[in-house]
Amino acid sequence: MHASYVIRRLLQIIPTFLAVMLVVFLLVRLLPGDPASAILGDRATAEIVERTNRELGLDRPLPIQFGVFVRNLLQGDLGDSISLKIPVLRLIGERLPTTLFLTAYAAVLGVLMAVPLAVLAAVRRNTWVDAVIRAVFQVGLSLPVFYVALQLLSLLGARLGWFPIGGYGEGFGGHLYHLFLPALTLGLNLAAILVRTLRNSIIEVLTAEYVDFARAKGLRSRVIMTRHVLRNALIATVTLLGLNIGALIGGAVITETVFAIPGVGRLMVDAIFGRDYPVIQGLTLTFALIVSLVFLITDLIHARLDPRAELS
Amino acid sequence: MNVKRLSRIALSLAAALTVGQAFAATRGGQMTFGRYADSLFLDPVLNDANLDIWILTNLYDTLLQPTNDGKGVQMGLASSYTTGKDGKSMVLTLRAGLKFADGSALNASDVKWSLDRARNPEAGAWNSSLASINSIAVSGNKVTLNLKRPDPTLPAALATFNAAIMPQKLFTAAPGKNDAEKAKAFAEKPIGSGPFVLSEWKRGSYMVMKRNPYYWKKGDDGKALPYLDSVRFEIIPDDNTRILKLQAGELQIAEFIPLSRVAELKADSRLNMTLFPSTKVSSILMNNRPKLNDGSENPLSDVNVRQALNYASNKDALIQVVTYGNGKPMKSYMSSTTPLFDAKQPGFPYDLAKAKALMAASKYKNGFDVTVLATSGSADDLALLTALQQMWGAVGVRLKIEQLDAATKTARYRANDFQMRTAAWTNDINDPSQITSYYTLFDNIESVHTGFKSAEVDKLFAQSQQELNLARRTAQYQQIQSIYLKAAPIVYLYETPYPVAMSKKVKGFFQIPLGNNLFASAYLDK
């Protein structure tokens, strides 16, 4: 892989980041309602609202507010949360690892479920095994995340007592244990998407001439599957997985609420309802950065699996 | 053995059992409490939300305290108080040996500093409750409040969270250039005078308050409260998850149980599903102005129409539909748990014939269209308003529902850009003056933005704010409630309790009508 390709892709993140910065700054201010309304609620008098807006610097012209935002950002300061009155950077630092842990956990569970089942479905294509796998995941894909979450909680948490009902736990082992059900919820959804694509890719590759050639060479089935079929079939799946990381973070909003996980998903929802501008801005920039990095990593893996990708 | 003697023995036995129980409080342990959302900012003066207010008094004690029934005050950090003959001064005596949670002494100077900070007109949203104070003087363990005028609300104000006593030295030593910055730093790990002290706070996840070993109040066993070693708040926003966690024994208390699930949890033998009396009233606020913001004519400016809508609202049916039978009709704009609530107020009992007659007497015999602002995602709002659509349809009023998120709804409301909106209220102070000033005074947010204005109410309210004679003040409040009812600036709906589900092991926990959760006397039965 060429270093210039990596640098080119890294540089592409900068304009994306700048555009997101401007759009999010303007979008939050276009929302009807303002932080003072949201924080102070229905009872605030006009004077208190005015005083609050002045204290927050929201009475100043928009270009000045934007200038302050960019200047602070360049100094690594995302401002203080309006409702929680603590630095946004600290807030994100406290909450982001939880969401990243959950997202990664869900991605791992999703892939662990999807790959073997997709191979099985492809090898046994058009048999009852294939039909069952496809049907189960089709249903999984159609069910709303919050419904799956509540069912898993009721059955595996409350009724059988195998897992705790919500929370994040302490230490790595505690996180693995506490986040199993939410990660499974998100992982099931992801696996449903991956199984379909991967199965079709495997079937396509299985009929390719180089696979016939490998068979003709007398290679064992397992070697053909891992070295030739999966490697090629995974190209599309990796792209799909990368694209779905954004959706996983989005899904985390609901999952974090149902499972009482203190991640950035819930923080974002609270910030939007509370018109907490600095938190919304900080989180959107963080999400943009994460998604850009995931896309970059996806492209790099893609390029590794299929060197032709670098040329495009 | 005659009946009298038998009943005397039974009574003595019952009394003995009660006393026995009273001394049976178990000490130690941690109580885990499921909250729907986390606190935001633990400063008594600068906070803005019930999420803070409802737990603050566990961390910061006040000179006086609200009574559990919401009707009066009891002694707190002060052991007694006297009011001057002219009503323009109040002398409070502090208990001996008071200490903050770090073991440092709580002195009269801390009291003066805390109250001066709380009454500063530039600080926070609550300073008006202490506006009658002109100056504060201290001498030994006595604190003298010199007043601008006699103030019957002052005892209740001194029992309210914003009048909490804080340690001056620790607060002023906190980093920061000004009061607001120091408050931010101090509120991260506050040291107060309440029964508990914050020991751990992972925002959005959990908060732990541990026992303050220096708390002044004694339990039934003669030793210092609180009984518990600690209280752990777990933040669980989803109602179903909160209930599942309680049922699985991972929580001992879960707050904000949806009223739709109260009956089911009452039937659960492991739980005590408790409905604590509250000051919560739910109503529809109406814009009473002759013209709307867009210049169009406003049918709700006609008192006949407003009364008609009140009579056409079948409160009992609404209580069944929205609160699953867990409410009661509003009779006054204030809850029946508010001091000086007038129990003789008739409210607006459902009377369709009267509603129709009132509509016929109005300018809008053929009915009209009206839009109500609802909070999006609120199942209660939707259930209520779809029921009202049908009820008001019977008098020719066609109700349209506009769903908005809370911040947008508040912004529209503040700009008087609405015809109707759903609204709920809980008191923050054990006195009728707060809700009355908001609901009935134009000078204070235009009578909850209805535009209601009454010179007579203004006069009565001003008098009541200086009236130390309880009977006369009660009469003034009776009049205010009657005038307001007649003008019907709002649609009177219902009062609802605070639904809290607890493990049967939980004893002594209390949520007072103001909403404050009190853990000082709470314990876990063995």
Length of chain A: 312
- Dmax (CA) for chain B in angstroms is 82
Decide which of A47, A74, A101 is a domain's last residue.
Answer: A74
* Six-digit token string for B18: 């009660």
Identify whether A292 is part of a domain.
yes
* Six-digit token string for B379: 């199942």
Query: Taking a contact as any Cβ pair under 8 Å apart, which residues of chain B between 187 and 216 contact chain A?
Result: 187-188, 202-205
Nearest to B438 by CA among B45, B47, B163, B129: B129
CB contact under 8 A, A40 and B125: yes
Query: Taking a contact as any Cβ pair under 8 Å apart, which residues of chain B between 373 and 402 contact chain A?
Result: none
Instruction: Answer yes or no: do A143 and A8 share one domain.
Output: no
To the nearest whole angstrom, how far is the Cα of B408 from the nearest Cα of chain A?
4
Q: What CA–CA distance (Å, rounded) separates B414 from B445?
A: 8
Q: Which helix (H) or strand (E) holds B424?
A: strand B420-425
From the list B37, B202, B407, the residue facing A33 with the nearest CB is B407
Tell me the pLDDT tens digit for each residue of B361-417: 999 999 999 999 999 988 899 999 999 999 999 999 999 999 998 889 999 999 999
CB contact under 8 A, B205 and A37: no
Q: What CA–CA distance (Å, rounded) separates B52 from A206?
A: 62
Instruction: Answer yes or no: do A50 and A159 share one domain.
Output: no
Which band of pLDDT confidence, cut at 50, 70 and 90, is reported for residue A17?
A: confident
> Which pLDDT belongs to residue B349?
97
Classify the phi-psi angles of A171: left when phi > 0, otherwise alpha if psi is within -120 to 50, otherwise beta. Answer: left
- Give B481 or A161, the one with higher predicted confidence: B481
Residue A169, number of CB atoms within 10 A of its CB: 15
Q: What CA–CA distance (Å, rounded) separates B226 from B230?
A: 9
From the list A48, A168, A275, the residue facing B205 with the nearest CB is A168
| Strand partners for B373 | B402, B421
To the nearest whole angstrom, how far is the Cα of A143 from the nearest Cα of chain B?
18
Q: Which domain holds residue A145?
A: 90-305
From the list A41, A86, A158, the residue facing B248 with the nearest CB is A158
Identify whether A133 is part of a domain.
yes
Nearest CA in chain B to A168: B205
Tell me the pLDDT tens digit for each residue of B144-161: 999 999 999 999 999 999
3-state secondary structure A162-188: CCCCCCCCCHHHHHHHHCHHHHHHHHH
CB contact under 8 A, A42 and B236: no
Mutate to test the interface with A, among B39, B40, B122 (most CBs of A within 10 A): B40
Radius of gyration of chain A (CA): 24
Identify whether A83 is part of a domain.
no
Decide which of A22, A49, A74 is a domain's last residue.
Answer: A74
CB contact under 8 A, A262 and B205: yes
Q: Name every chain B residue with its beta carbon within 8 A of the beta carbon of A168.
A: 205
> Which pLDDT belongs to residue A10?
81
> Which pLDDT belongs to residue A31?
83
Q: What CA–CA distance (Å, rounded) separates B445 from B455?
A: 16
Identify whether A84 is part of a domain.
no
- Give A127 or A159, the one with higher predicted confidence: A127
CB contact under 8 A, B411 and A33: yes
Instruction: Answer yes or no: do A164 and A62 share one domain.
Output: no
To the nearest whole angstrom, how far is the Cα of A148 from the nearest Cα of chain B?
13
CB contact under 8 A, A260 and B412: no
- Looking at residues B475-497, what average pLDDT do you find? 98
CB contact under 8 A, A257 and B238: yes
Query: Taking a contact as any Cβ pair under 8 Å apart, which residues of chain B between 439 and 478 contact chain A?
Result: 444-445, 448
Decide which of A74, A99, A127 is a domain's last residue.
Answer: A74
Question: What are the DSSP E strand ranges found in B466-515?
Answer: 490-503, 506-507, 510-511
Instruction: Answer yes or no: do A68 and A96 share one domain.
Output: no
Instruction: Answer yes or no: do A47 and A138 share one domain.
Output: no
- Give B13 or A209, the one with higher predicted confidence: A209
Q: Name every chain A residue with its beta carbon within 8 A of the beta carbon of B125.
A: 40, 43-44, 48
Identify whether A79 is part of a domain.
no
In contact, A282 and A79? CB cutoff 8 Å: yes
Task: Convert A205-214 to b/e letters by CB count within 10 Å (16 or more is b).
Answer: bbeeeebeeb
Please compute, for residue B355, the number of CA atoms within 13 A of its CA located in the half-sphere on the CB side.
22
Tell me the pLDDT tens digit for each residue of B118-151: 999 888 888 999 999 999 999 999 999 999 999 9
Residue A232 is part of a domain; what is its CATH number? Answer: 1.10.3720.10
> Which pLDDT belongs to residue B19?
45
In contact, B93 and B142? CB cutoff 8 Å: yes
Max avg pLDDT among A241-250, A260-269, B218-227: B218-227
> Which pLDDT belongs to residue B8?
56
Instruction: Answer yes or no: do A143 and A207 share one domain.
Output: yes
DSSP string computed for B106-161: --HHHHHHHHHHHT-TTSSS-GGGGTTEEEEEEETTEEEEEESS--TTHHHHHTSG
Chain centroid offset of residue A70 CA:
26
> A35-39, B350-354, B369-373: lowest mean pLDDT where?
A35-39
For chain A, the domain total comes to: 2
B297 touching A (Cβ < 8 Å): no
Nearest CA in chain B to A261: B205
Which band of pLDDT confidence, cut at 50, 70 and 90, is reported for residue B517?
A: very high
The helix/strand/coil state of B338 is coil
To the nearest whole angstrom, how far is the Cα of A89 from the nearest Cα of chain B?
14
Instruction: Answer yes or no: do A180 and A145 share one domain.
Output: yes
Identify whether A277 is part of a domain.
yes
Burial class for A58, CB neighbours closer than 10 Å (0-12, 13-18, 19+): middle
Instruction: Answer yes or no: do A141 and A270 share one domain.
Output: yes
CB contact under 8 A, B48 and A37: no
Note the pTM of the prediction, 2 decimals.
Answer: 0.87
Identify whether A126 is part of a domain.
yes
From the list A41, A46, A95, the residue facing B410 with the nearest CB is A41
Instruction: Answer yes or no: do A33 and A154 share one domain.
Output: no
The helix/strand/coil state of B206 is strand
From the list B184, B204, B414, the residue facing A85 with the nearest CB is B184
Instruction: Answer yes or no: do A69 and A102 share one domain.
Output: no
Q: Name every chain B residue with its beta carbon within 8 A of the beta carbon of A145.
A: none
Instruction: Answer yes or no: do A146 and A25 share one domain.
Output: no
Q: Name every chain B residue with its beta carbon within 8 A of the beta carbon of A260.
A: 205, 234-238, 241, 245
In contact, B206 and B234? CB cutoff 8 Å: yes
Residue B421, number of CB atoms within 10 A of its CB: 26
- Looking at residues A52-65, what average pLDDT do you find? 88
Bridge-based pairing state of the strands B271-286 and B490-503: antiparallel
Which residue has 């079937």 as its token pair?
A203
Which band of pLDDT confidence, cut at 50, 70 and 90, is reported for residue B16?
A: very low
> Which pLDDT belongs to residue A50?
86
Instruction: Answer yes or no: do A176 and A223 share one domain.
Output: yes
> Which pLDDT belongs to residue B5?
55
Residue B286 phi/psi, 5° resolution?
-115, 145
Identify whether A311 is part of a domain.
no
* Six-digit token string for A21: 């910065």
Residue A47, pLDDT above cutoff 70: yes
CB contact under 8 A, A84 and B236: no
> Which pLDDT belongs to residue B9?
53
- Dmax (CA) for chain A in angstroms is 84
Of chain A, the percentage scoring pLDDT greater than 90 comes to: 16
Tell me the pLDDT tens digit for each residue of B233-257: 999 998 999 999 999 999 999 999 9
From the list A84, A158, A165, the residue facing B41 with the nearest CB is A84
> What average pLDDT is seen over chain B?
93
Tell me the pLDDT tens digit for each residue of A185-244: 888 888 888 888 888 888 888 777 787 887 788 777 777 777 777 777 777 787 788 878
> Which pLDDT belongs to residue A1?
57
Nearest CA in chain A to B448: A43
From the list B204, B409, B414, the residue facing A262 with the nearest CB is B204
Residue B18, pLDDT above cutoff 50: no
Q: What CA–CA distance (Å, rounded) separates A166 from A255?
A: 10
CB contact under 8 A, A165 and B234: no
Q: What CA–CA distance (Å, rounded) separates B141 from A62?
A: 53
B261 touching A (Cβ < 8 Å): no
Residue B326, pLDDT above cutoff 80: yes
CB contact under 8 A, A273 and B408: no
From the list B125, B244, B406, the residue facing A48 with the nearest CB is B125
